[in-house]
Every structure is written in structure tokens, then in C-alpha cells.
């Protein structure tokens, strides 16, 4: 596969952008290759600067659930663009998108738009602290809630990929009130809440974790979080930036039938444009300025082009049968990959919730960050490179999820399984 242009672009980018990328995992350091510079995309495919085509399972890290350049989304963006790109003033579109999210997600009674998932979680945590008058935040190892200082503790995603516990630049005093516990460990949560519950502002969790690879919640785990927060007057925040409108139209909370107090969104609700949002109980959301004293603001918040893209995306997703299609294709992909691993004698463990998948190079069941880290990372790197050469674009980290879109038709899924078979055979032979 010819990669001359990507190679030159990466060399030039490294001179002007730290690491040559605007988000660390994209540099492909963990998988021992150079990043491909993407020139365009269509449906389930990406095309790089050398015009190589790839079946895309990154989907811009989650938002592209309809596939790339869906005609309805492009039309909505084009119409919005014709009216202007940013007004810094209220619009009908932001109100409509808020209504659409509120309709879909029963725990959300009010919603505030921001510009990224990081902003959404950061603001939700501030609100939780402001509303409860408490400081402690509980999170879980391997969950990633964006890069706000308070939450960058034992995080997944890029920090796990680079194998660093946190980041220089975050004073110890800033994270002294953040406790990180093992994911899916209900007992650990009960015990910490028994001791500190009355000082805990909130528990924040990815109800379907997608930043330590993909890890589903164990039966009863989310229920425990709901119960202990209610018992202690703490808030429960679901970070559904990745799984919202992904694992079900109403998100993980509708799938598992839990009502958190606050929910964070991003990715899909922006239809591929930069968006975040946080929402929840009216009595809590009313404490945000200007209705209440908890301050949060943003120049581009509720950007009309992003709102239009999000609305068009949700309109497609609410059509009957959409999530059944995603389920069927994702199920076939997971089965096919598992069979290929077995056939080639490669120990691998698979997790899947709807169209979010995780494939780990370990014989352990992956149920938390500790077990995710038993994965054979050099082997994942080799698999990644084999798959890339075969035209399959995976996330370049064992600690990211794989996303299937509605544009992944049966032929694309079968092509991926065949490529995996060949790639896994190369691993077992190597």
C-alpha cells in the first residue's frame, strides 16, 4: 500500500502541531505505524491522501453512526450554512435539538448545549458540586470523561494508550477530591460511600465504557450506583458522550432502565460537528446561570450548523428498525471476528453492546481496566497494522472502542471478517 503522501504530511505536521496530531491517540504511536492522513469519506469508507480506501470502524470516534456524508445530514448542514455559521444568540435549532434529546431520554428534563464532551462532563461536575455543596467526585478506573483537570485521574483512552496515570500540569490539590474506583466493582462503591457518602457530590460513570476498549456494565452495577447515590443525597452522572444514541436511541440508561440525575452527551448529537451537551433533572439544571448561580458559558454553544447536523442525525435514528439493523450487523461482525480468532488459535476476548465492540488480545474476560490491561499490546499493534494494510481502519489503540454504522452493509462486514481471518493467521504464524 502506497503511503508516500501521508508520510510527508505527517513529517510536516510534526513541525507545526505537537506530535503531528490534534488528539494523541491519532499519532498511532501505540501501534507502531504512521497515521494515515484522511482526505475524504463516503458511507463506511475513508480515503487517505494516497487514495487508499479503508472500511472505517472509528467513525470519528463515535459520531458517524449513519456513516459519512449521509445525504440528509449534508442537506441539513447546507441549508443551515446558507443562513449563517454562528450568531452567538439563541436559535430555533438549539431548542428543537434540546426537545429531541428530552423526548428520547426520559431522565433529561432540561439540556444545555456546549461544544465538546469534555465541556459537558466538566460542566456537569461543576453543577453537581454547586448543587450539592459537596466536593468529592467518584469516577472509575479506565473511564475517560474528557481532559478536564478534575477528571483526568486513572483515565482510559489516550492516557491509557500512552500508559500514563494522569498528566503533569494538574495540581494535586485539584484532584484531591476525585476518587477513582475499579469499574464494575459494586462492593468497592458501597464501601467508599459508607465512609464518605455524605461528602460525595456525584458519581460519574460511562454506563457502557468505551475508553478502556469496550466494557459493558456488570449486572447490578449501575443499579448499585443509583441506589447508593440516592441513599446519600449524591448525584449520579451518566457520561453518555459515546454510548448516548449509540447503544439505543435513549442511550444506555434506556437499555438498562436507570434514571441518572445528570447525563452528558456529545458525538452523535452533533452529527459529526463539534457538540456536547449536559442535561437532567429540572431542579438541578435550573441552578445553571442565568437561571441559577452555577456559571458556564460558550461563544459557539448551540452552533446552528452543528445543531442542524445533530437534528438530521437523530431524525434518521428515530426511524423504525434502525437499531435492529445495527444490532444485526454488529452481531455478525462480532461473531465473525470471534470465529476467526478461534480458527487461528489466537486468544481473544470480545465485548459488545449494540454497535460498540471491543476485541482484546487476552484469554481473560474483560470487565474492568485491570483485565483490559492483560491484553497483549504488541499483538494488538501487529493486528492493527495487518488490518490497516488490508484496508480496515480500526482505532489505533487497544483502549478504544470499535463502532459499526448503518453504512456498514453486509458486504463490508464480510470483507472485514475475511481480512481479520488473514490478519489473525499472520499473527499466529508470526
Residues near ligand HOZ (CB under 6 A) are 23, 25-26, 61, 144, 157-158, 211, 400
Catalytic-role residue among 239, 261, 376, 421: 239
Coil, strand or helix: which one is 56?
strand
Catalytic residue among 144, 278, 384, 393: 144
Selecting among 29, 139, 267, 373, the annotated active-site residue is 267
Least distance between ligand HOZ and beta carbon 24 (Å): 7
CB closer to ligand HOZ out of 64 and 201: 64
Please state the closest distance from residue 156 (CB atom) to ligand HOZ, in A.
7
Complex with ligand HOZ: residue 61 or 360, whichever CB lies closer: 61
Q: How far is the CB of 37 from ligand HOZ (least distance, A)?
A: 14
Q: Is 299 left (phi over 0), alpha (psi -120 to 50) or beta?
A: alpha
Closest residue to ligand HOZ, based on beta-carbon distance: 23
Kindly tell me which of 116 and 229 has the beta carbon lying closer to ligand HOZ: 116
Asked if 144 is an active-site residue, the reply is: yes
| Separation in Å, CA 403 to CA 97, 113, 233, 299 | 23, 24, 36, 31
Q: Which cell numbers hold the place of 27?
A: 499519532
Provide the minimum distance between the beta carbon of 64 and ligand HOZ in the complex, in angstroms, as a whole number: 12
Q: Rank residues 395 and 424 by Cβ distance to ligand HOZ and give the closer one.
A: 395
Q: What is the 3-state secondary structure (H, E, C) of 252-287?
A: HHHHHCCCCCEEEEEHHHHCCCCCEEEEECHHHHCC
User: Cα–Cα distance between 238 and 365 in angstroms, integer?
Assistant: 24
Tell me whether residue 255 or residue 356 sits nearer to ligand HOZ (CB atom). Answer: 356
For the question of residue 135 being annotated catalytic, the response is: no
Q: What's the length of the chain?
A: 430
| Shortest Cβ 146–ligand HOZ spacing (Å) | 8
| Catalytic residue check, 239 | yes
The least CB distance from residue 15 to ligand HOZ, in Å, is 20
Cell (9 digits) for 232: 446519600
Strands 45-48 and 53-56, by their bridges, are antiparallel
| Closer by beta carbon to ligand HOZ, 383 or else 403 | 403
Exposed, middle or buried: residue 63 (CB in 10 Å: 0-12, 13-18, 19+)? buried
- Written as nine digits, the cell of 25 is 491517540
Hey, what's the cell of 64? 458517524
Query: Are 277 and 111 a contacting pair, CB within 8 Å?
Result: yes
As annotated, the active-site residues are: 144, 239, 267
Amino acid at each position: 500500500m502506497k503511503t508516500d503522501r501521508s508520510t510527508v504530511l505527517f513529517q510536516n505536521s510534526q513541525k507545526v502541531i505537537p506530535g503531528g496530531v490534534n488528539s494523541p491517540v491519532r499519532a498511532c504511536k501505540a501501534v507502531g505505524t504512521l497515521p494515515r492522513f484522511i482526505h475524504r469519506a463516503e458511507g463506511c469508507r475513508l480515503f487517505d491522501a494516497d487514495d487508499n480506501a479503508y472500511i472505517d470502524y472509528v467513525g470519528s470516534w463515535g459520531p458517524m453512526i449513519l456513516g459519512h456524508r449521509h445525504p440528509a445530514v449534508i442537506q441539513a448542514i447546507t441549508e443551515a450554512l446558507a443562513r449563517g455559521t454562528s450568531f452567538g444568540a439563541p436559535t430555533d435549532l438549539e431548542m428543537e435539538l434540546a426537545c429531541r434529546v428530552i423526548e428520547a431520554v426520559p431522565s433529561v428534563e432540561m439540556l444545555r448545549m456546549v461544544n465538546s464532551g469534555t465541556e459537558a462532563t466538566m460542566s456537569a461536575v461543576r453543577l453537581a458540586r454547586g448543587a450539592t455543596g459537596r466536593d468529592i467526585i467518584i469516577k472509575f478506573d479506565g473511564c475517560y470523561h474528557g481532559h478536564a483537570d478534575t477528571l483526568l485521574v486513572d483515565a482510559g483512552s489516550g492516557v491509557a494508550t500512552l500508559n500514563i496515570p494522569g498528566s503533569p500540569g494538574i495540581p494535586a490539590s485539584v484532584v484531591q477530591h476525585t476518587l477513582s474506583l475499579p469499574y464494575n466493582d459494586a462492593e468497592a462503591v458501597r464501601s467508599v460511600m459508607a465512609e464518605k457518602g455524605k461528602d460525595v457530590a456525584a458519581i460519574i460513570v460511562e454506563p457502557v465504557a468505551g475508553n478502556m476498549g469496550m466494557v459493558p456494565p456488570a449486572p447490578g452495577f449501575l443499579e448499585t450506583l443509583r441506589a447508593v447515590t440516592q441513599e446519600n443525597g449524591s448525584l449520579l452522572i451518566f457520561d453518555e458522550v459515546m454510548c448516548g444514541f449509540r447503544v439505543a436511541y435513549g442511550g444506555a440508561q434506556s437499555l438498562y432502565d436507570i434514571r441518572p440525575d445528570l447525563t452528558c452527551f456529545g458525538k452523535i448529537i452533533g452529527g459529526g460537528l463539534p457538540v456536547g451537551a449536559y442535561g437532567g433533572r429540572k431542579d438541578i439544571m435550573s441552578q445553571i446561570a442565568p437561571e441559577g448561580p452555577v456559571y458556564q458559558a460558550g461563544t459557539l454553544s448551540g452552533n446552528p450548523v452543528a445543531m442542524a447536523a445533530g437534528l438530521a442525525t437523530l431524525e434518521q435514528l428515530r426511524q423504525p428498525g434502525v437499531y435492529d439493523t445495527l444490532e444485526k450487523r454488529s452481531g455478525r461482525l462480532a461473531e465473525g471476528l470471534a470465529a476467526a480468532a478461534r480458527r487461528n488459535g489466537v486468544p481473544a476476548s470480545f465485548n459488545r453492546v449494540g454497535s460498540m465492540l471491543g476485541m482484546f488480545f487476552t484469554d481473560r474476560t474483560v470487565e474492568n481496566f485491570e483485565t483490559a490491561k492483560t491484553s497483549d499490546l504488541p499483538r494488538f499493534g501487529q493486528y492493527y497494522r495487518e488490518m490497516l494494510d488490508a484496508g480496515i481502519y480500526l482505532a489505533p489503540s487497544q483502549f478504544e472502542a470499535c463502532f459499526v454504522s448503518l453504512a456498514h452493509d453486509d458486504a463490508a462486514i464480510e470483507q472485514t471478517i475475511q481480512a481479520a481471518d488473514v490478519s489473525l493467521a499472520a499473527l499466529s504464524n508470526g
